[in-house]
Structure 1
Amino acid sequence: MVTRRSIRRLLPVVCAVLLVRIYVIRLQEGHGEDDDSALHSWHESTSNEVKSEMEVLHGPSETPQSSVVTETQEVDILLGRGGYQSHQKVLGHGEGQGTAVNMSDRTDLTGSHDHSPLWMRITDDLYTYSGFWDSRPSLPEGPVARVLGIMRYKKELMQPGRGFKVSSWVKDNVLNCSCLLWYTDTNVPSQGTLKAFVYEEGLKVYVGTFLLCYPLSTDEANKVDSMSSNASSNNSQEKIPYAVSIIPKDCQNSSYSLIYLRREEETANASENSSAVCVRPLFGPYNDLVGMAQFISYYSSVLNVNYFYFYDLALNDDVREYLSKVATLGVKINILYWNVPTTDWEKLWDLGSLTALNDCVYRSSKKHTYVAVVDLDEFIVPKMKGLTLEDIYKKVISHKVGNHGDAALIRNVFFCYEFENTKNNATDANELPIFRYIHREDRIWPSKLRSKMIVVPEAVVALGHHMIHHFAKGNLKNHGAPNTIAVMRHYRTCKEVNMGTHATGPRVLDQKTVKDASMMKFRSSILKSRVLQLYLQFIQNKMKSNRIL
């Protein structure tokens, strides 16, 4: 029989159970909101971690005075592997896509505009990688949000016009997309005018494409405002957007993904009148430590380049670790994640390398005065010792009576590995490859065939692999560098390399060869460089670790 005393004892327990039950019910009812908050918090904490790696100090110029690596120095390496700072995430390798953003849910979107780029799916026919606010006065149609990406190629989509191969404007209204521009002073985006321009050289399933979102003119914006409450003008032509959205026509009323724009003022303040090197995406997986070491050692110690941009499709962990140590020496290493939508070579020319190189040029604009666009096995070598990358550019342009902004095309010559193997006078096998292989083909290639270039980033609209296809100004040109100033030494196997346009000529390996040991004049500078000394130290430590294991 339950007594009154028993009831009084059980009452606190019953109340506690009821309170717990009420809490659980309320938690379940607010589950969606709590999940959303957790997602935002995760993105914010993740982005802060990435940002701390990106906020780095510029170290001193490369000097051979010391080979000691100070591990406590600021590590100057950008590992852009996490995704966008807010409201965007990576779904997996080869399938990046922005998380949907509700226009009413925009918390702290504008705290930092220098977001790590990532490939994002807009539709099955359209992917984007990065965005830039381009307000150069020389642009014929005015300031524009320039988004770099790829689209599925169809000949019927292209407008007839001039240009290299398929380089052409896309016909209006065939993308089945529109664009919105996001500004800091309003929660509502402004309607833009979307156009597309293909800059690709090779015809594959997908081609490199500029997606151009132009702010509406004042009259157009007012007309849009009077017809719709979902867009805002607020004199958008006079403001600078921080992001753009590319919207499929069948998703007009859904949430939007943001492509953050790198803006001019963010790079202008960091301008150091410096030189940089852009390298196309590294795949493989790329594990050539000695190749990476000699590349950075040469360009930093000989040509006085201390900024390097790499695109990581498949970097080996040892290479990544070595690069992080190189960054402690004051050599700025920028690694950008290349989660390209497909690794099928038949679908995407050279795994989208032309988009990466154009991204690099736009990324370095206003920050670097001169940029060399080369591969890791290519070395721009001056005839005279003591010339920097800037000196080479100025000498070429001066010789050609050119204008600042012209491109200097450095002519290619192959130092095929097979040339050395067919002779008995090869140098020491322990030498760096650039000193070990001293036989080259007799002829030097003409400019625009296999050549690489030194460019002024602000002067470039669309970059090709071997020359500039579109300049910002009509009076700018490509100039072939005289052999008396510089050549580009290309070290590689040449088994499948042919001469001629589109590699339709005879085999390179069938050509006459000559001995050329002129690279030796830079040997002392390279071997004494801290970058190479660090490599030797790194290898020794790895060997000791492997023995211990």
Structure 2
Amino acid sequence: MVTRRSIRRLLPVICGVILLRIYVIRLRGDLEEDEDTGFHSWHEFTSSEINPEREVVPGPTETPRSSKATERQDVDILLERGKYPSHQNAVNQSEEDKGQVNAFTSSDNEVLSNILDHSPLWMRITDDLYTYSGFWDSRPQLPEGSVARILGIIRYRKELMQPGLGFKVSAWVKDNVLNCSCHLWYTGTDVPSLGTLKAFVYEEGMKDYVGTFLLCYPLPIDMAKNVVDSGSTNFSSNNHQVKIPYAVSIVPNDSPNASYSMVYLQREVDPASVSENSSAVCVRPLFGPYNDLVGMAQFISYYTSVLKINYFYFYDLAVSDVVREFLVKVSALGVKIEMLHWNVPTTDWEKLWDLGSLTAINDCVYRSAKKHAYVAVVDLDEFIVPKLKGLTLEDVYKKVIAHKMGEHGDAALIRNVFFCYEFEKTKSDAIDKDELPIFRYIHREDRIWPSKQRSKMIVVPGAVVALGHHMIHHFAKENLKNHGAPNTIAILRHYRTCNEVNMGIHATGPRVLDQKPIKDASMMKFKSSVMKSRVLQLYLQFLQNKVPSNMTV
């Protein structure tokens, strides 16, 4: 018989069980909201089935610059750096120069890592189509076989797109509206081979131009013309032997006599040469002009000393000469830096979202796919910070997918939290202006964003077909997913001004600055490692010799 006394004794236990259950449910809810709710598999889009068209939703919520206020300055920068070549004027260039440029023009260029035989360059095909880079994609998971994958942008029109499910305007382009053909170049012949051209839009922001894959499929061996043995072959999914081209040309159908502009394909790398612990960082294009020397120094110092990353990819839209010189000296320490020219065809945000940054980070993932096992996709003011010391980028990734029983190839989404500069100005704490920003600003918003909103990624590059800004939209395998990182493993510390940043989906919520800030000095446990790093010591020496008046130090 249950008495009142026994009930009173059991009451604390029952309450404890209930509270524990509520905590587990809330934690699971936070994590399960990270699971994919739509189609993320490339395979869903290769089906011939026509699906009903979904409503297009707005793109990412980053606050754009005023395009009118900066357009003249950006145009001047592009004129100084060099414009993109037209489709017609590339015929007289040597093979080394066709559609390609080196990212650095200084005498120290040889010091920097230049992995590719040809560094990419934006090229005009027509007024509606521009190309940037190319890759030979022979992954066995691709449903239509090996393909030459060209990254570019196309002028968006609703009638271009096949109806289909997907994020934003992500969909196949109708075959009969491209009005272009593709030609594959092989060693041993001066005449290219005609391929089959398809196009797939992966862009999030619906502007005048959208990021697009141009896919050139080679014809089977028994159908191909003017192709001689190149000594390099593989097999497509339809069991036809396929030769590996070294370049692709996209040619307008209404200009059959136009000169061929070549987009060189990154060469295949032996998968055995990829180290299991090899990691890299991809950063979207640097514009401004970018002269934040301390920002660059602390970024490389942190990722090299804390997460043990030794390879960085940057895209140069407007990097100052002093920052460029500093990167040359950093590379002399053994840190691998690849700077790619980003002469984007337009500097108007209303024509191309975020100046084409989605194409840049997709290019970076393909560029790194057969060199690195893991890649972090972040901005220069974002830091993936593990909860525990001693974790590398690989460790963080494996802990995230293990927590949710993920498979190797899933994406780890690191959840964002803002460390707004304005929060420090409201505090009585004295700010040490000589301190690095990541250690100077120790107050953050009192929330951590859900994944897929402002989150950034750790990915296995070979498993990715198309990235978004905050998650993977298409994987090579059907069973791969995005996994949100629990706060007990890592968070993304985002240092910036927050005056125009709002919470909520598509920035529809209240201002971030309306939150009550809280103190979070957990970054301090990495201070010793960063301050003792070779990169930061080099930075301090560099300051003694060269501190321009307009330089952010």
Pairwise TM-score range, normalised by the shorter structure: 0.7 to 0.9
Q: What's the offset of the Cα at 1:429?
A: 1.7
Match of 2:23 in 1: none
SS for the counterpart of 2:195 is strand
- Whole-Å Cα distance in 1 between the matches of residues 172 and 495 of structure 2? 37
2:172 corresponds, among 128, 150, 169, to 169
Could you tell me which residue of structure 1 aligns to residue 161 of structure 2?
A: 158
Amino acid at match of 1:136: R
2:258 to 240, 251, 254: 254
Matched residue, 2:448 = 444
Amino acid at match of 2:86: Q
Establish whether residue 190 from structure 1 lines up as the match of residue 179 from structure 2.
no
1:453-532 pair list within 5 angstroms: 453-532=457-536
Q: Which residue of 2 aligns with 1:242?
A: 246
Q: Is the 8 A contact 1:279 1:311 kept in 2?
A: yes
Which residue of 63, 73, 95 maps to 2:84? 95
Question: TM-score, structure 1 length as denominator?
Answer: 0.78
Tell me, what secondary structure is at the counterpart of 2:125?
Answer: strand
Higher helix share: 1
**Contact 1:426/1:437 (CA < 8 Å) preserved in 2?**
no
Tell me what 2:69 maps to.
Answer: none
Please name the residue that 2:336 is paired with: 332
The letter of the residue matching 2:174 is: K
Secondary structure, in 3 states, of the residue corresponding to 2:315?
Answer: strand
Deviations 1:123-150 (A, max 9, x none): 0000000000000000010000000000
Asked if structure 2 preserves the Cα contact closer than 8 Å seen for 1:267 and 1:365, the reply is: no
Deviates more, 1:153-162 or 1:250-259: 250-259
Q: CA deviation at 1:188?
A: 1.6
Of 387, 392, 397, the match for 1:393: 397
Q: Which residue of 1 aligns with 2:366?
A: 362
Match of residue 357, structure 2, among 350, 353, 356: 353
Given that 2:375 and 2:458 are in contact with CA atoms closer than 8 Å, whether structure 1 keeps it comes out as yes
Determine if contact 2:277/2:394 at 8 Å carries over to the other structure.
Answer: no
Equivalents in 2 of 1:540, 1:485: separation in Å?
A: 38
Residue 543 of structure 1, CA deviation: 4.4
The residue that corresponds to 1:48 in the other structure is none
Q: Which amino acid aligns with 2:85?
A: G
Equivalent residues in 2 for 1:407-418 (5 A)? 407-418=411-422
User: How far, CA to CA, are the matches of 1:383 and 1:426 in structure 2?
Assistant: 26
| Other-structure match for 2:213 | 210
Deviation of residue 217 (structure 1)?
2.6
User: What SS class does the counterpart of residue 115 from structure 1 fall into?
Assistant: coil
Mark the CA change 1:94 to 1:344 in structure 2 (over 3 Å): closer, same or farther: farther
Give the whole-Å Cα distance in 1 for the aligned partners of 2:314 and 2:267.
21
Deviation digits for residues 461-504 of structure 1 (CA, Å, limit 9, x no counterpart): 00110000000000000000000000000000000000011111
Is residue 2:294 matched to residue 1:290? yes
Unaligned runs of 5+ in 2: 1-78, 99-114, 234-239
Percent of pairs with identical residues? 78
> Mind listing any 5+ residue stretches in structure 1 that lack a counterpart?
1-89, 226-230
Closer, same or farther in 2 for the Cα pair 1:98/1:247, shift >3 Å?
closer
Tell me, in whole angstroms, the C-alpha distance in 2 between the residues paired with 1:389 and 1:108.
Answer: 37
Which residue identity lines up with residue 538 of structure 1 in the other structure?
Answer: F
Instruction: Map 1:115-154; keep pairs closer than 5 Å.
Output: 115-154=118-157
Structure 2 length-normalised TM: 0.77
- Amino acid in structure 1 at the alignment position of 2:506: H
8 Å CA contact retained: 2:87, 2:126: no
Q: Pick from 252, 269, 279 the counterpart of residue 283 of structure 2.
A: 279
CA separation of 1:293 and 1:108: change in aligned 2, threshold 3 A: closer
CA distance in 2, matches of 1:424, 1:107: 59
| RMSD between aligned residues | 2.5
Q: What's the secondary structure of 1:196's corresponding residue?
A: strand
Q: 1:273 Cα deviation (Å)? A: 4.0
Aligned residues: 447
Question: Which 4+ residue blocks in structure 1 deviate beyond 2 angstroms?
Answer: 90-103, 105-109, 217-221, 231-238, 265-273, 543-546
The one-letter amino acid paired with 1:430 is: D
- Counterpart among 408, 411, 424 of residue 420 in structure 1: 424
Matched, 1:178 2:186: no
Equivalents in 1 of 2:166, 2:141: separation in Å? 19
In the TM superposition, what is the alpha-carbon distance from 1:255 to its structure 2 partner?
Answer: 2.3
Please give the per-residue CA displacement for 1:354-406, whole angstroms capped at 9, x wherever unaligned.
00000000000110000000000000000001100010000001111000000
- Residue 264 of structure 1: SS of its match in structure 2? coil
Q: Displacement, 1:264?
A: 1.7
Aligned counterparts of 2:80 and 2:332: Cα–Cα separation in 1: 32
Look up the equivalent residue of 1:349 and give its one-letter code: W
Whether the aligned pair in 1 keeps the contact of 2:285 and 2:342 (CA below 8 Å) is: yes
1:265 match: secondary structure:
coil
| Greater radius of gyration (CA) | 1
Whether the 8 Å CA contact 2:274–2:373 is kept in 1: the answer is no
- In structure 1, how many angstroms separate the alpha carbons of the residues matched to 2:403 and 2:153? 38
Q: Distance in 2 between matches of 1:260 and 1:475?
A: 32
Which residue identity does 1:96 align to in structure 2? P
